[in-house]
Structure 1
Amino acid sequence: MTSNEQQKQQTALIIGASRGLGCALAEEYLKRGWQVIATARGTARTPLHDLQAPAGDRLQIEHVDIDLPEQISALRQRLEGRPIDVLFVNAGISIEQDKTAAQMDTQAFTRMMVTNALSPMRVIETLDSLVAPGGVIAAMSSGLGSVANNRDGGWEGYRASKAALNTLMRSYAARQPVATRALLLIAPGWVRTDMGGSGAPLEISDSIPRVVDVVTSQTGCTGLQYLNRLGEIVPW
């Protein structure tokens, strides 16, 4: 790689990349020649670590639990001076999918709201200054987060947490004095992962490359959009 190419190499920071969609995001950016900083919770070996040997120094793995604000702040300090082109917050959990809101355990509901909505926004608020003007800040939402499209119920706690994420991201966008970066909420589709289950219609390969295409297409744009993996607008 020439010095010119090194200067042009872009960097993606993927939060919540230990497995599933997050790990696939890290792998896809590496395939496209990007520098990737990816986080995993805890120190146990995960599928993300399997990418380290082939990627070499293009993959930097950080250990962060996004539900612990002090760990987010420590990551911000470690990355001081590192320009980021894409910040993608992927972390999310689903608990008691088959229960209604009235049936759900309070602790389970609270944990989803913290991990799926509050913590991603804390990450974005803490790390946003690292993202260069013209870059992209994205959060992994879900089609289930659309209030307008909720015609069947199900996954009620998870739906609520993703709708909360969408609302908080919209508030964040409204507070920006000047829009200098694209802000995205991404619905990747129902994908076969540990969380999506074996009955999901999409493989990871059907979703994540297209998600990265959508994020890339928004480089240099400004303002908030809620989009699916095909780049189509999802109703709020």
Structure 2
Amino acid sequence: MPTAPQRRALVIGASRGLGLVLAGELTRRGWQVVATARQDDGELRASAACSNGQLEVETLHMTSPGQLAALCERLDGTRLDLLFVNAAIDRGDVPIDAVPTDMFTEVMTTNALSPLRVLEALRGLVAPGGTVAVMSSEQGSVSRNTEGGYELYKASKAALNQLMRSYATRHDGDGHTKLLMGPGHNRTRLGGPDAPLLPQDSIPALVDVLEAQAGAPGLQFLDRHGEVVPW
């Protein structure tokens, strides 16, 4: 019986936190993974060194068009089963009327604009039937925004979701599964030390959803249990 081809994934934003655990979990499940970091990150490269060639590291600062173009050139000819973009920054719980313009621009560029630039640049590497996914947040749900706080972060994730909706409309019929994933409130640098979830618990569940949804048509906004998150 012929051996099934090894699945290939590109994880954008894997230097720490959810992205680092995601790259490791995919590798553990037998995926061939290329993971990006903004700089020469020790923990990610240490994981790659112990992976028997299953995990490779590339450098990418997502907000740099030049670095993105260079990555596209280096990966030319690669065929992916999964392209996953993970990006988020937070500049604290600042009321929107007190947010400086440069802070607003930085958060929106990192959390909403840059992920879609990456998708547009790299989507051609995704094989027919492959998956294009972005790490969103339940905090980007407009209908669930019933508690105060973190207005800029919430707005950036809502903007990401809307831009992903436009992306899905523009590329309707391309054969790619398209997912916005809400991982829950995790204990990372972004989520803080008091968050109720550990990435080591939530990310395996999220990968279960990614694998189960492979081949599904259209765009879905799902949590780590595979439940639909309302827009």
TM > 0.5 fold call: yes
RMSD of aligned residue pairs (Cα, Å): 1.3
Q: Counterpart in 2 of 1:233?
A: 228
Kindly state the Cα deviation for residue 179 of structure 1 after the two structures are TM-superposed.
Answer: 3.7
**Residues 1:47 and 2:47 are matched in the alignment:** no
Segments ≥4 residues shifted beyond 6 Å: none
Q: Do the aligned partners of 1:11 and 1:86 also contact (CA within 8 Å) in 2? A: yes
Q: Counterpart in 2 of 1:31?
A: 28
Kindly state the Cα deviation for residue 105 of structure 1 after the two structures are TM-superposed.
Answer: 2.1
User: Aligned runs of 1:1-236 on 2, under 5 Å?
Assistant: 4-5=2-3, 8-43=5-40, 45-96=41-92, 98-236=93-231
Query: For structure 2, which runs of at least 5 residues remain unmatched after alignment?
Result: none
Q: Aligned with 1:226: secondary structure?
A: strand
Kindly state the Cα deviation for residue 91 of structure 1 after the two structures are TM-superposed.
Answer: 1.5
Distance between the aligned counterparts of 2:70 and 2:217, measured in 1?
A: 28
Change (3 A) 1:230 1:77: same
Distance between the aligned counterparts of 2:188 and 2:43, measured in 1?
A: 13
Q: Do the aligned partners of 1:207 and 1:229 also contact (CA within 8 Å) in 2? A: yes
Letter in 2 for 1:90: N
Q: Do the aligned partners of 2:172 and 2:218 also contact (CA within 8 Å) in 1? A: no
Query: For structure 1, which runs of at least 5 residues remain unmatched after alignment?
Result: none
Kindly state the Cα deviation for residue 199 of structure 1 after the two structures are TM-superposed.
Answer: 1.0
Q: TM-score, normalised by structure 1?
A: 0.95
Letter in 1 for 2:208: D
Q: Aligned with 1:108: secondary structure?
A: helix
Q: TM-score, normalised by structure 2?
A: 0.97
Distance between the aligned counterparts of 1:89 and 1:31, measured in 2?
A: 19
Kindly state the Cα deviation for residue 48 of structure 1 after the two structures are TM-superposed.
Answer: 1.0
Identity %: 51
Q: Aligned with 1:166: secondary structure?
A: helix
Q: How many residues align?
A: 231
Distance between the aligned counterparts of 1:158 and 1:88, measured in 2?
A: 20
Kindly state the Cα deviation for residue 206 of structure 1 after the two structures are TM-superposed.
Answer: 2.1
Kindly state the Cα deviation for residue 177 of structure 1 after the two structures are TM-superposed.
Answer: 4.5
Deviation readout 1:68-113 (Å, 9 max, x if unpaired): 11211211111111110000000111112x2111111221121010
Deviation readout 1:38-64 (Å, 9 max, x if unpaired): 000023x33211201210311110000
Distance between the aligned counterparts of 1:227 and 1:99, measured in 2?
A: 28
